[in-house]
Chain A
């Protein structure tokens, strides 16, 4: 397997703060990779830096063999990169359907109906609420919408920022099952940022631990789960 995405010694600033201090990681084609770490460790910044905002001050982002460090935010979809970002960022004054249409903004209109049906099969809740204003939905529904919207662009690489944030435990399990399904059945490569380390590491093939803008540890998901330090730092209080 070859690396679909590799991040090489990337440094990035977010305002005056140096959020990433030389991060290197790679994601192979077909993998699910989890990036775990505490609040403020730089996880979300890393996902945005992959997309070019904030741009890496040093280091390189290489995707499918191509250096995309200087690429513009709006070029990501054409490259096959989709993101469900921090805070979901659904368009609150658009309907659910319009949000999904925005997800397919650069897509072939001929694929639209089929893709939409598949998203609705994945998240039946969205089908029920297709004409509702997205801003009036619950947090869990907005989360589904953000993931569905990202999938509408038929990504090769899906970047997910805290898909379990604010969801009821039952929904968390459902969302993670969905991510596995997307990865297995459609071959979408996933880089997942999570505070919910237990679920994330059980789902992922491999994981990285980010501490204060640096990768502290990496390895297979199960191996990281068994690591006593990780258990103490991220899994205290049971199964997240």
Chain B
């Protein structure tokens, strides 16, 4: 950590605080590029071991060797937040990154989705994840690498299948159905019961066991951890550990455009307002900024993807310009990407940025579609629906322990990829240890059942 940069950190923090950013303190640490890459691959500085991370690691290595990507920073929200900066950053890049990190810290502390998830996961996800990694290491020592890997195969395959509207530490379903006699909230029933107490009493004599699950359950990690008939307790712990990390990942995933845009808006603005930065460093930093928020289409005429930094940055500039900073802060606090894009990506801005909607055939032919703002919003947001995963819920557990899963193909508008789904069922079957049935639809739209084993 260079002294020059260190002295700027304090001054940028002061400037940010004066500009209205409210953030928890952030610990900055400069780390080697190799470690930066690992953080990006694992999503957390220390995380459970699994071979699938090794696959991502190699893809990252290849990407980096081809010069496709360069990582400047990774920041973890919390109190204090942790920011890892690449050692290879120059002074100008570090100044920019510092301002960027403070934008993220402000976002993570004030955005409601982040706050809600942090209230569940606590503000120490980095430490929690390291703790999970240690527990899993212990499990490997006790139960053997193969069994732990089988549990992780299943748990990580379901990592997107959580229900963010539920508690992280969620109680089990009530054991029995609610007694209808307690439903005396409407006047008719009260009067009826008062008229003839005997017949009201004979309404339901025995307590009825509630079915499991009482309603289709999307929180698969939780459901399996709690209701698998023959799971070991350490396997349940692994499922719950993965689930906790998913609770941490969800807001990062679901507000990426807003969050990156907000951080980019603030690094640009703080840099502009920081009169203490030498001219050369400022120029270098601005150059770096324009690299980061550059639209993907800068070099090519047309790109079939959108850089979230660019889109978010442009949207925040527009919002602050037209509505003022106070309104922008209110939006930042209340929205996630869904609300943000649907409410604030206007026709004019979309035209200005040259955003368009296209349809691509599987043979690679791409056709640009007629402009339609609502449809454009959905095209941008579609990959983010339901944590980026199909909606699969646990529908029923049969008497013999067979798990019935259903895919909500009506909402997802098409069926599941059968080959992959079968493999996921295989993973899951090894911890559920009873048959699993999954219903989805085939190409023609008629119902289809997959089973394991």
Do A and B interact?
no
Enumerate chain B interface residues (CB-CB to A < 8 A): none
Interface residues of A (CB under 8 A from B): none
